[in-house]
Structure 1
Amino acid sequence: MSEIIICKDINFKYNVNFVLKNINFSISQGDFIAFIGPNGGGKSTLAKILLGLLKPTSGSIIYPNVTLFSKNSLIGYTPQDTGINKDFPIQAFDVVLMGFLQKSRFGYKITKNDRLEALDIMQKLEIENLKYRAIGSLSGGQRQRVMIARALCGKPKLLIFDEPTSNIDMLTQKEIYKLLKQININHTIILISHDISNLSEYVNKVLFINNEIVDFDSFKNKLGIYGRFYEEINRKNKG
């Protein structure tokens, strides 16, 4: 598989404290990568750097095929906190359509084709019946599917999901993971999580991030459950 993003010597700090140090890794087309590690380890910060929301203090991000990340092929992103004010008057379909919003000379504009594509995505994710439901009235799993649909708008080549199963029951977590695995057929995925239960059967690569990328082979005996998770991924890939 061809590399689509290469991170070289990425460092990032807030004020004087480094959150990320000497980050080196690559993402290949078709990967399903898990960023795992403790809270505060820098997983979400690294995702924001990939998205261009934050600029690294030093280091570089290389895009071997820049056309994959052109104006018409952005990275899809679902943030960690999808909690929405239940009284906020917006329908699920309108939330999905936000995935198309790009600023232009004439402000923000949604086209007829955008609406058709958004509806098609909702149908594929089996949430078309939620189209006119208020987003605040949906269950956690339903709301997460809506946010995934929003991320898929515009046919992005890379999708980043930050804790997509937080505050969701175990059964719904498995449903979301299965859905992401289906999406992975056509999209490269980064999934950020500190909870690795049920995750190993879906991802093909894992990075343990705790301010830096930890070498599993050297520290797996000290990493406990994370080390066992890494070995399970290795066994699956070799099998």
Structure 2
Amino acid sequence: MTKKEIMKKIIGNVLIPIGFVSGENIDSCWFIRKFKNSKGETARQVVEFYSSGWEKKLYMVINCFSGKYSSYRISDFVPDSREDGLPYSTMREYQLAVETYADILKQYGPDFFKKIAQPPAEDDYFREEDNCRLFEKHESLAEKFVAEHKLDLSQISTEDAVKIIKKILLEKQGEPFENCRDMILELSAFYGCVQKKSHKCKWVMHNCRTHFTCTLDFNSKSIPSLYVHNDIHMAWKNGMDKLDSLII
């Protein structure tokens, strides 16, 4: 058997019965579980295995997105563990390393997966569902905002758009995030519409394996992708100073 076949068989016997499915690329092998957390939000857990490029050691990392992203090593959930990868030099030793990780997952995995599945108590974050809504509904979100505020898009520059965004955010600071979630998505969509007048750009959904996120991507190497709703969210929370970075 190849290394990936060994991994799929041994680790799969532990993780697949509890809802994981397997995946792989050229550098690693992983198992992923998609579920709804206690708030009904889309969440994912990924157990990933990889070997270092310069030494023969096998590593395991557990990543989770449930309202927020977190990454864990064995030392985070196995008492008194100082694990720093399991060495191997032969296929037999590789299989033994995989079996060791399988035993750890059998003993500690179910309780740990349950623990890290819990979302933050506060609701001050964007869910995957919000990213999907911005990606799929940005045109209608922008149209709603423009109509409500009686704006003429043809007369608005990027700098004007940022000034409008700042004004509205200042009016909404201090309100609960849940009351501002839709507003921030509408502001983001509005900003994207203004940018499209002068730049070739589009909304793109990125698969980060543990979650999907939406960015405004430009057809220019000199302009980076913008996490517009996150930038606006941070301005609403912490002040408007950094929002000028959206003037491009």
Both proteins in one fold, TM over 0.5: no
TM-score of Structure 1 vs Structure 2, range by shorter chain: under 0.3
Identify, as 1 or 2, the structure richer in helix.
2
Structure showing greater relative contact order (alpha-carbon pairs closer than 8 Å, 6 or more residues apart): 1
Question: TM-score normalized by structure 2?
Answer: 0.24
Question: TM-score normalized by structure 1?
Answer: 0.24
